[in-house]
Structure 1
Amino acid sequence: MNIKHNINTILSISASLLLLSTSCTKNFKEYNTNPIGLTNEQINADFTLASAFLQQAQRGIIPEDVGSYQLAENLTSDSYSGYMGAEAPFRSNSNNLTYDLVDGWNSSIWSYRYTNVMNPTYKVINLAAENPNFKDLDAFARIVRVSAMSRVSEKIGPIIYSQYNVMNEQNYIAYDKQTDIYNYFFEDLESAINTLKGLVSSDVSSQMLKSDLAYTENNYENWLRYANTLRLRLALRLVYVDAGLAKTQGEAALDPANGGLLSENSQNCFINLSVSHPLNVIGYEWSDTRMGAPMESIMGGYNDPRISKYFEPATDPVVAGQYKGIRSGIEIDSKARYDSYSKLDFFNENKLQIMVAAESWFLKAEAALRGWANAGDAKTNYETGIQKSFEMYGLGASASAYINDGTSKPKPYIDPKSVTTGQNDITTGSSYLSTITIKWDDGATNDKKLERIITQKWIAIFPDGEEAWAEYRRTGYPILFPVVVNYSAGAIPTIPGVRRIPIPLSEYNTNTAGAEEAAGTLGGPDTGGTRLRWDVEDKSF
């Protein structure tokens, strides 16, 4: 892969984005002002354009563009979550993975979603306000907006959301603080949920059918379930910092009167892509990503049959036939050293996974552990989450034996090709090698029960590195491996590791007062070592 090529790809304007461009030269104006030179009358004449905006936004929840995906996802959260590791020593091995955070890479986290999600959803919401026949598109736009922008906030912290396209009297655009942003997410979700509840028994409109890239039937019901599941996900994110709000929002999501959660694999949310799956390109055409070492340790130790659905056996003669992962943040002298470790299994369907039913069962398991109304039984939810994940990969018949395995544990990680012998190994007895087993134990502490839930959720939601990294920072689970090489010059401690991505330099350069004001709310310097609000030090149950 050519990093310069990818950055140029992100900054270039594709034909599809010409609809969203303006004559403004300031980045903050491009990202935060009305970008569409079309009147509502023009769009009302043909809802095809509104549907096109929503299709673009869905494909921006997780970037479908491969260059943007690599920089915004694969070289941050895919690796920080333990899912994947890069075999190439980008920038002489001084890069995100060794904690020398690269703004030229990380700015795509911000720019891609403001261009491809906030802009088009903003226009659709404004359009729907003037056209009551588009109330379903209003709900849809709000769900998509929260889906994407919560991911940005959970990497960076404060973001521009409620003040999008609003220049204040001081001539800058203000950010929403971390203490406020989730309230805006919940407001959008509640509005969408209430709308879809009123439509769920109605015929799906032609504009919704044209807009929806995930479902071909039961569109209103499925997006209603998705919205409730997203609400529960975000509610649990706040459980350590605002237990009252978390419980209120979580119980609203769990209330069956609000439409239910994703519960079956037929309701899984996968977005149809207009290009090749980015991980196929990154993994096979560019040969830039491989299995992460924690996946080898945890799935290998559990003898988890899903490993063959996620990865290919290594072909390097030293480890041929094994599922072999790369530990992130290590000394790498050349790409050839690890290029023949395990590739990701090829994604045969050209779809990006956004959320699956298994996750909702694990969310319910934690909610039950916390005593929230309508959450059900923690053990039943936990085991159902595993069952649904196995069924998703055609392995349903193997689930029972796995669920009842009370002895298997994550296995030591040994890297036979490390530059310095033994430097990358995680051996028996290491504090970074979990001892958690699979089988539910009613007699375990709540902390151990939570570790079981999150570890299995981590396995089940692969390859969604953003959500996996967010949950790791929130809960401390699953137990992952620290970096070996740290080039942050003290900005990011090796333990507990990188906690966030800084506000992009483009914002400091073009929305200076807004960025500086936002940075002042972080509770620490604008570096990768400062925790987000919900990432508390004391994570005990």
Structure 2
Amino acid sequence: MKLKNIFILGLLSVLTLVSCDKGFNELNIDPTKTTEAYPEQFMTHALMQTVSANMNRNRGFNNELMQVTVSLGDGEYKVFRYDFRRSWSDYLWSSHFLNMSNYKDMYAKASNELTLNPSYQGISLILQTWTYSILTDTYGDIPYSQSTLGRDSLLFEPKFDAQKDIYADMFAKLDTANNLLKANTGINATVDPVFAGDVAKWRKFGNSLYLRLLLRVAHKAEMKEYAVGKIKEILETNSSNYPVISNNEESAILRWTGEGVFISPFMSTRVQDFRATAIAEYFIDFLRDTNDPRLNIPEYGTSGVNRWGIAPVSGNFVGVPSGYAAGSEDYSKMSYFYSADQNNGVNSIQQEPLTGMIMNFAEVEFIKAEAMLKGYITGDPSVPFYSGAENSIKLWVPTWADDIKEHLAASDVAWDPAASFDKKMEKIHQQKYFALFLVDLQQWFEYRRTGHPILPKGEGLKNNGEMPARMQYPVYVQSSNPTSYREAVARQGSDEINTKMWWQKP
């Protein structure tokens, strides 16, 4: 009897524990919270990482190719001599595809019934297009329609889409984004390090990006009708439906304030390494010879203190000729960008908030100038040309108040209505080159598209003196995705730096 009672008591205890366990699980679910992720949770970190990767490739790759800087040395693999290792390709590819997953997750969450928000959907499409455009303009054909599907679809060997098809879909994404952002459903300002929650500015950036990409392919026979027609629609016939960046305050810039997590990635470079890179002769000669306010700011009092933090040499600004032959001369005592530890009243782009440049107003103005020059839209190209030149300066020196026409005329770089088409293109892109300072790889992309500005060629250039047309695909892609890699190479051409991608070909 005693044993039976013990058994019954034990059974009741087990049942009680099971019952308590069920209630305990329910009690430990907070009814005021959700386990569903919100779209804004994917935005800030991915944006910072994408901008950081762009900045690092801008400084070490774009600036060397495009004669902004010269990384001194006589050894092999100097980018300024058009000579670089295949391993240069890995960083941008890996970083951008990784962050693409976050942008796509952001769109998926913004499309979820519980967290529906058209503004986040539109912003996600803009960020996807911006990042994909840098990837395809760097490498050519890339994984696009099947990219970033490994986690959810176990697709680890995505096909490479043709660049022509990528551009067509990017245009569709930007059109969709423009429509989604019309509703302006609002976003969390604290997670937006670019526009602080201003959805209208995101819409303007998306349409300005649209113009950048349309202009890049408007010369292609199979794309010309659409691209030219869309440029005209955005800027002329339906401009109210396609607002674009219209002043410096609307420029897309992730500002590195130095507060919290917003510390410039340039600050991770040792100060002695940051200032070891010399300024290229082409870059600094133009600024010096045109008395550019970004190099000489009168109200600061001395030529040694300037907005871009460039150090003088014996009171003068002296650059290194890019592509100089190895062993030809010692250029170690030339101008360079000040490092942060030299600040003491001197600006340094190592800690400059504006280095997180995505797209600025001046670029939009130069796009208009070229579109007018080519007859895509009506108007006098000198008007946006001067506006672009002026606002390129004022973005950095807001207090500058000189007349831009007189300023450029004094240095013989003013607009000449009687000049040839090619010389007018050179005028536009010479100024656009400085407006694109620090803007990822856009100087390189524009040079490959137009051949402007005309850059001097040093005697030490490798690659037969030919500007590289692309980066090779990362080496690991050949082994991780061999079938798609071979298909891409068969369609596009050999995986070498001189193989021209679709929009570069006649």
Provide the TM-score with structure 2 as the length reference: 0.79
How far has the Cα of 1:239 moved from its partner? Answer: 2.3
How far has the Cα of 1:454 moved from its partner? Answer: 1.1
How far has the Cα of 1:456 moved from its partner? Answer: 0.8
Question: Would the alpha carbon gap of residues 292 and 335 (structure 1) be closer, same or farther in structure 2, given more than 3 Å must change?
Answer: same
In structure 1, the residue matched to 2:247 is 264
- Kept after mapping to 2: 8 A contact 1:87/1:339: no
Q: Distance in 1 between matches of 2:64 and 2:422?
A: 25
Q: Distance in 1 between matches of 2:318 and 2:231?
A: 38
In structure 2, the residue matched to 1:295 is 283
The answer to whether structure 1 residue 189 and structure 2 residue 174 are counterparts is: yes
Q: Distance in 1 between matches of 2:458 and 2:89?
A: 19
- Kept after mapping to 2: 8 A contact 1:172/1:511: yes
How far has the Cα of 1:289 moved from its partner? Answer: 2.9
Structure 1 unaligned spans of 5+? 1-43, 409-436
In structure 2, the residue matched to 1:475 is 450
- Kept after mapping to 2: 8 A contact 1:80/1:469: yes
Query: What percentage of residue pairs aligned between the two structures are identical?
Result: 23
Alignment equivalent of 1:154, drawn from 137, 150, 153: 137
Q: How does 1:352-431 map to 2 (within 5 A)?
A: 352-373=356-377, 376-394=379-397, 397-400=400-403, 403=406, 405-406=408-409, 408=411
How far has the Cα of 1:401 moved from its partner? Answer: 5.0
Q: How does 1:415-454 map to 2 (within 5 A)?
A: 437-454=412-429
In structure 2, the residue matched to 1:251 is 232
Question: What amino acid maps onto 1:289 in structure 2?
Answer: T
The answer to whether structure 1 residue 323 and structure 2 residue 317 are counterparts is: yes
- Kept after mapping to 2: 8 A contact 1:329/1:485: yes
Q: How does 1:48-197 map to 2 (within 5 A)?
A: 50-63=39-52, 69-70=55-56, 72-88=57-73, 92-115=75-98, 117-131=99-113, 133-166=116-149, 172-197=157-182
Question: Would the alpha carbon gap of residues 403 and 220 (structure 1) be closer, same or farther in structure 2, given more than 3 Å must change?
Answer: farther
Q: Distance in 1 between matches of 2:467 and 2:458?
A: 8
SS at match of 2:336: coil
Question: Would the alpha carbon gap of residues 483 and 442 (structure 1) be closer, same or farther in structure 2, given more than 3 Å must change?
Answer: same
The answer to whether structure 1 residue 531 and structure 2 residue 500 are counterparts is: yes
How far has the Cα of 1:520 moved from its partner? Answer: 1.8
Question: Would the alpha carbon gap of residues 381 and 396 (structure 1) be closer, same or farther in structure 2, given more than 3 Å must change?
Answer: farther
- Kept after mapping to 1: 8 A contact 2:39/2:107: no
In structure 1, the residue matched to 2:434 is 459
SS at match of 1:286: helix
Q: Render the CA deviation track for 1:452-508: whole Å, top value 9, x for unaligned.
A: 111111112212251111111111111112243345xxxx331x3211111111111
Structure 2 unaligned spans of 5+? 1-32, 296-305, 339-346
SS at match of 2:183: helix
Between Structure 1 and Structure 2, whose CA radius of gyration is higher? 2
Alignment equivalent of 1:341, drawn from 335, 343, 355: 335
SS at match of 2:161: coil
Question: What amino acid maps onto 1:222 in structure 2?
Answer: K
Q: Distance in 2 between matches of 1:214 and 1:169?
A: 34
| 276-285 vs 184-193, greater mean Cα deviation | 276-285
- Pairwise CA RMSD: 3.0
In structure 2, the residue matched to 1:419 is none
Question: Would the alpha carbon gap of residues 178 and 507 (structure 1) be closer, same or farther in structure 2, given more than 3 Å must change?
Answer: same
Q: Distance in 2 between matches of 1:47 and 1:468?
A: 41
Q: Distance in 1 between matches of 2:190 and 2:212?
A: 28
Question: Would the alpha carbon gap of residues 55 and 484 (structure 1) be closer, same or farther in structure 2, given more than 3 Å must change?
Answer: farther
Question: Would the alpha carbon gap of residues 368 and 69 (structure 1) be closer, same or farther in structure 2, given more than 3 Å must change?
Answer: closer
SS at match of 1:103: coil
Q: Distance in 2 between matches of 1:46 and 1:86?
A: 50
The alignment of Structure 1 onto Structure 2 pairs a total of residues equal to 443
Alignment equivalent of 1:512, drawn from 453, 460, 482: 482
- Kept after mapping to 1: 8 A contact 2:59/2:438: no
- Kept after mapping to 2: 8 A contact 1:519/1:525: yes
Question: Would the alpha carbon gap of residues 271 and 98 (structure 1) be closer, same or farther in structure 2, given more than 3 Å must change?
Answer: same
Provide the TM-score with structure 1 as the length reference: 0.75
Q: Render the CA deviation track for 1:299-355: whole Å, top value 9, x for unaligned.
A: 22322222232242334xxxx222222333334569984265322551354451111
Question: Would the alpha carbon gap of residues 401 and 258 (structure 1) be closer, same or farther in structure 2, given more than 3 Å must change?
Answer: closer
Q: How does 1:223-242 map to 2 (within 5 A)?
A: 223-241=202-220, 242=223
